[in-house]
Amino acid sequence: MNLREFTEKDYLIHDREHLDKYLVELCAKIVKGQQKDPKQYGMVAACVLDPKHRMVASTSTNRDGKWSHAERNAMAAYESKYGEIPHGSIILTTLSPCDGAMADRYQGSCTDLINDSPVKKVYCGYMDPSQHDEDFEFTVEATTNEDIQALCKKFADTFLGDEDHPLDENFADGKHPGRKGDSARHGIPKHASLSSLDKIGHGSGRKAQLARWQANMRRGRAKKK
């Protein structure tokens, strides 16, 4: 490999316009999965891109009734095809990596998995507003392409819920709506009255979603089917 070839490849793996092309491919992979079997293939896609520009991608998949996330699937597929993920590799994903407890997730969080890998950079189409980056031992960059960002958000909203219609709220089933401590981080008092929670819940965004979850749990409401 000559110096010019190395320099071009090294540049491209950090060039946003170049990386956005991979995000477009990942979005197309989600669409194909939904057309094939929406119960088996999920609404997030990810890939491992190594310094040689070998790319291995996957969507999230349903595994034994739980979701194996796209990052985990892509990393496993890369290792199966090429062996250990080399230093200098990055992960591209339509949604930033999950963290914390999730009842419907197969195995541990993607954040923990990436932390234990040589990967030090993640490039995503949309930042999950319910996640926090204090546990990241890698850098996360989001695309600045508004069209790609809007499409990735549209995919994510099918299970995260948008600001006005949070689809993943949990009720008396006891499932946690996100990472432990989210309510405190979003400024919801620990012993807020139901009337206060209802007032906050009339708003939009993650804080309102968490307030509605707390109110529904305390009222013992069943989750809508």
Domains of the chain listed by start with CATH number: 3-160 (3.40.140.10), 162-225 (no CATH)
Phi, psi of 5 (to 5 degrees): -60, -45
SS3 content of the chain, % helix, strand, coil (to 5): 40, 15, 45
Closest CA to 85 of 46, 114, 125: 114
CB 129 within 8 A of CB 205: yes
| SS3 state at 49 | strand
Per-residue model confidence as pLDDT tens for the chain (225 residues): 444 554 555 556 678 899 999 999 999 999 999 999 999 999 999 999 999 999 999 999 998 889 999 999 999 999 999 999 999 999 999 999 998 777 789 899 999 999 999 999 999 999 987 766 667 899 999 999 999 999 999 999 887 754 444 444 444 444 555 555 667 767 787 778 877 887 777 765 667 777 777 777 776 655 544
Query: What would the DSSP string read from start to end of 108-141?
Result: S-HHHHHHTSS--EEEESS--TT--STT-SSEEE
Specify whether the CB–CB gap between 78 and 48 falls below 8 A: yes
